Amino acid sequence: MPTPTAPADRLTGRGWAILLVLSSAIFLEGIDVSMMGVALPSIRADLGLSTTSLQWVVSAYVLGYGGFVLLGGRASDLLGRRRMFVLWLTVFLLFSGLGGLATDGWLLILARFVTGVAAAFMTPAGLSIITTTFPEGPLRTRALLVYAGIAAGGFSLGMVTGGLLTSIDWRWVFFAPVIMAAVILAAAVRLIPHDTPAARTGGGYDVGGTLSLTGAMLLLVYTVVMLPDVEPASTVTTAAAGLALLALFVTIERRSRTPLLRLGLLRSAPLLRANAGAMLLVGGFVGFQFIAVLYLQEYRGWSETQTGLALMVLGLDAILAPTLTPVLVRRFGNATVIVAGLVLAAVAYALFLRVGADWTYAAMLPSFLVLSTAFALGYGPLTIAATDGVAAEEQGLASGVLTTSFQFGSALGLAVVTAVVVGSSGPAGADLDAFRTALLVPLAAALIGVVVTASGLRRRRRPAADVVAAEVTV
């Protein structure tokens, strides 16, 4: 794929256009997920869904996304990144529209599952287009920080947008992404250059590896999603089946002439640290957001719109990530910025532990401001670290591994927090003690993340000239 001609640390006009198209797609994916949480009560009331069925409106998306994202990343390497991005963005558009038209719960759940599968192929394709279009170094660092900032902003601002759209009609939570996807699709077809898929040497596709990996991912995501709602024996059974398929996948990959996943990619300590950090950062953030929504809506009685506006400040990461974060990365290095982000996340969760029955918004604001800064410092640099040093023909796969970490993190964070809230609640429902106990989950995730990623700081610092060019190893 051709690289936009520009000075070593500047983006051309066309480079900016490509970057904004791809960033808009990840913004769309983030806002789509985030809006859904606010719309669920209205969807339940209109379609007459049970609590179990309502959960599957969210869980079906996560299951489709997490189950197919590694396959999606490899498909973009083998079949062409532009082709996969455009094709699956089209699928995303169509099935988001189907969700808005659904009059039965099963149809809505089906639409959400296919939309998740579409995101699983579209997202790693888009990220790998960025990492192969912009050369490694300060240019790619800047591009990835802009991309990550817009992604984080979509996730955060979805709460506000979802509240406003739901106040009109919950179906607009599905129709609005259709309009946005159509605009992105038109721009993508025009701007994103064609690429040449990675060469395959004999033996065709790794069908056995594909089937075993997809089955393993589906079972493991299902285990996490259903954790709060099933018996321990069921959790152990599905987890064991998923791990067995994962072991089968590893065996197949070791023997395959054309493996779906080169296992050597997973032997990189910096890559593993980056993905573990990504899982912990997003898992804590999603868990905290869920607790905050429950506290504001169910405990305090705030409306969807009020809740969305209250959490709007979390969207500041969309401004901080492309402005403040690059400056800090150049000055202190990628690893230091990641650790600082996770430390700030722990501070934000600790501040909210004091949550009271009649807290004013001013009392909540410090936690929200610190957390938005933490997310801005952590998300982008982790994205850089997880794709740094990976060969061009495996960028889609590395992007898929990172996206898997984000999805597993969000699913696991939500599942564990939900289980703690339910287990700590009294007969009348969740109370302040239940919320405070559940807040220990994101706090623990952030602290573990600090320990995991701080091990990268023990590496000897690179020369000053390289730091200016951007330190991108966790």
Question: What pLDDT digit, counting tens, does each position of 417-429 carry?
Answer: 888 887 887 766 6
Q: What separation in angstroms does the CA of 82 have from each of 116, 288, 392?
A: 19, 35, 14
- Arithmetic mean of pLDDT, 178-183: 95
Judging by beta carbons within 10 Å of its beta carbon (0-12, 13-18, 19+), is residue 157 exposed, middle or buried?
buried
Burial 320-358 (b: 16+ CB within 10 A, else e): bbbebbbebbbeebbbbbbbbbbbbbbbbbbbbeebeee
**H/E segment holding residue 362:** helix 361-387
Who has greater pLDDT, 461 or 191?
Answer: 191
The per-residue pLDDT for 32 is 86
Residue 380: pLDDT band with limits 50, 70, 90? confident
406/3: higher pLDDT? 406
Report the pLDDT value the prediction gives residue 8, as an integer from 0 to 100.
Answer: 52
Task: Quote the domain boundaries for residue 36.
Answer: 13-192
| Same domain, residue pair 169 and 274 | no
**One domain, residues 20 and 165:** yes
What's the pLDDT at 70? Answer: 79
Domain final position from 192, 219, 249: 192
Q: Is residue 200 part of a domain?
A: no
Q: What is the pLDDT of residue 429?
A: 64
Domain boundary among 147, 174, 192: 192
Q: In terms of pLDDT, which residue wins out, 256 or 197? A: 256
| Shared-domain flag, residues 288 and 411 | yes
Is 90 exceeded by the pLDDT of residue 341?
yes
| Same domain assignment for residues 334 and 186 | no
- pLDDT tops 80 at residue 157: no
> 51 lies in a domain?
yes
Are 307 and 396 in the same domain? yes
Q: What's the pLDDT at 390?
A: 79
Looking at 156, 174, 192, the residue that finishes a domain is 192
Q: Judge if 44 and 159 occupy the same domain.
A: yes
Are 283 and 188 in a shared domain? no
Is position 65 within any domain?
yes
**Do 175 and 53 fall into the same domain?**
yes
Residue 7 inside a domain? The answer is no
Please say if the pLDDT value at position 223 is more than 70: yes
89 or 150: which leads in pLDDT: 89
Res. 471: pLDDT tops 60: no
One domain for residues 171 and 270 = no
Any domain includes 257: no
* Same-domain status, 288 and 183: no
Lowest mean pLDDT among 57-61, 374-378, 393-397: 393-397
- What pTM does this model have? 0.79
The pLDDT value recorded for residue 474 is: 36
Do residues 18 and 164 both lie within one domain?
Answer: yes
Look up the CATH number of the domain holding residue 350: 1.20.1250.20
CA 232 to chain centre: 27
Q: Which of 111-120, 123-132, 457-466 has the lowest mean pLDDT?
A: 457-466
In a domain, 58, yes or no: yes
Q: How far apart are CA 158 and CA 152, in angstroms?
A: 10
- Answer whether residue 351 is part of any domain: yes
Q: How many domains does the chain have?
A: 2
Which of the two residues, 10 and 182, has the higher pLDDT score?
182
Using CA atoms, how far residue 383 sits from 304, 387, 440, in Å, is 31, 7, 26
Amino acid 17: pLDDT:
92
Q: Are residues 187 and 269 in the same domain?
A: no
Q: Which residues pair with 334 in a beta bridge?
A: none
Domain presence at residue 40: yes
Distances (CA, A) of 372 to 184, 265, 325, 330: 26, 32, 12, 20
- pLDDT of residue 460 exceeding 50: no
Q: What is the rounded CA–CA span in Å between residue 51 and residue 388? A: 42
Q: What is the pLDDT of residues 57-107, one digit of tens each?
A: 877 888 888 778 878 888 888 888 999 999 999 999 999 999 999 999 899
